[in-house]
Chain A
Amino acid sequence: MKCAKAKKLISEYIDGDLSAEEVSFLEKHMETCPNCKKLSKDFQQIKQTAKDLSEVEPSGQTWFRIQARLKAETQVSVPEPRVRFLFFPVQLRYAVSTALLVFIVIGAVIIGMWIGNREGTVNGNNGQAFALTKIQEAEQHYKLAIKALWEAVQVQKENFDPKIAETFRINLELIDATLADCKRAIQSDPSDLESQYYLLAVYKKKAELLDSMIEVSSTVPQNIGSKTII
């Protein structure tokens, strides 16, 4: 037997996977070949040391974490809006940034309105006019936020599960119908502050709904049906 052939058999030799005939040939070869004999000895030493490698235990918390994850896997409903900003595509980040900025501005406007109302109780009609101006400013900001969020939704729309998309569509239609009612009420009486406040509340709901749509579309993995674990 030549060394090249012997070397190929040595790994199986130390595992006891060779036939009696092959073992006989190989052992005969190793009697006269120190290199192959050394290879066999080294492989045996490696195998033995591998058996003696230290074993480490996982922490006692691991099983509890597995149980918690299994429990969570059983029922998944539409998630509460959570901002996982860094995982959003670039277009979405801009849209959400714009929306957040607009919400901050709206917050400032609403505080301004509140101050205006307080002054209005003192200054009468001037205060009401101030509040109306601020409401109109807030409306513009909401419109801007909704426009940005709507563009973001359009980018993600192909990711929607059809059932989720349908639910969102129904809710959007309801909100748009309510917005139209509010606008009609305001047209009939532009000085009615209650209708104006209600209009802002509906805009806010629309912005929240669009934000939820972005969140859900970013959460749902693509190609769910074909995903495999191995």
Chain B
Amino acid sequence: MLLAATITMPSLLSFQPGSSSQIGLNYPIMWKKELSDQELKKLIQQSRDGNVQAMGTLYEHFKTSLFNLALRYTYNYAAAEDVIQDVFVKVFTNLHSLDDDKAFVGWLYRIAVNTCLSYLRSHKKLRQKTISLEDVQGIVADRAPSATQKAETKILDETIQKLPPSLKSVFLLHDVQGFKHREIAHILGCSVGTSKSQLFKARKRIRKFLEHKQWI
């Protein structure tokens, strides 16, 4: 019989993040939802050992935040789903190479941001026209904004979509996701000063756009 020998192909993802210092995260990034360091560490270790239930718990914990981050890069529900699938597959496939479990959250978000940017690069020509997240099909999580708030968030979403990727990343991580500049610097691999100046530029751009819309 031809091709009787089974040939194991190399993994498509041979990502080697190296030491945590290479990523620049030597301390925990405090996540806004409640999950103690101990719990997180245990889940990471169990996931590394192939425990699917632990992987599922980690997914459940970060899915909404990462999905909304992806959605504000792609503004396409299906594309955002593809992005977070890629993110979690990369994360669980390469978890063994993460030396410092305390660096997990920053590492996860760094992979997420880079996967989103990679998506934008490869779909540059196909990018859709501006749409609001309010118009994106999906289940809106537990917030009930007033009509005014809804209108304001809709305009802001449209504005965020117009930001260049470097400004968008900082704005989304800081003002939407709630990360500190020190954490953003580690996620994006830039200095704290750069993170601050990018946020200032992003806010100025947004303000200018909102002035045109006579929102402020």
Contacts and interface: CB of A to CB of B under 8 A. Distances in A.
B44 interface: no
Interface in B58-102: 59-60, 63-64, 67-68, 71, 77, 80-81, 84-85, 88-90, 92-94
A58 B8 CA distance: 34
Interface residues of A, number: 53
Given A57-B138, A78-B3, A67 B52 contact: yes
A17 interface: yes
Contacts of B139: 56-57
A225 B206 contact: no
Interface in B119-158: 133-134, 136, 138-141, 143, 145, 149-150, 152-153, 156-157
A58 B2 contact: no
Interface string A157-177: 000010110010001000100
Contact of A58 (B84, B133, B153, B171): B84
B140 A229 contact: no
B144 to A, nearest CB: 10
Majority SS at the chain A contact face: helix
Interface of A: 8, 11-12, 15, 17, 39, 42-43, 45-47, 49-59, 62-63, 65-67, 69-70, 73, 75-78, 161, 163-164, 167, 171, 175, 205, 208-209, 212, 220-221, 224-230
Nearest 3 interchain pairs by C-beta:
A50-B175, A55-B141, A56-B138
Given A77-B9, A221-B12, 13 more contacts: A11-B196, A42-B210, A46-B206, A50-B176, A55-B64, A56-B67, A56-B138, A59-B138, A167-B3, A224-B14, A225-B10, A227-B13, A229-B111
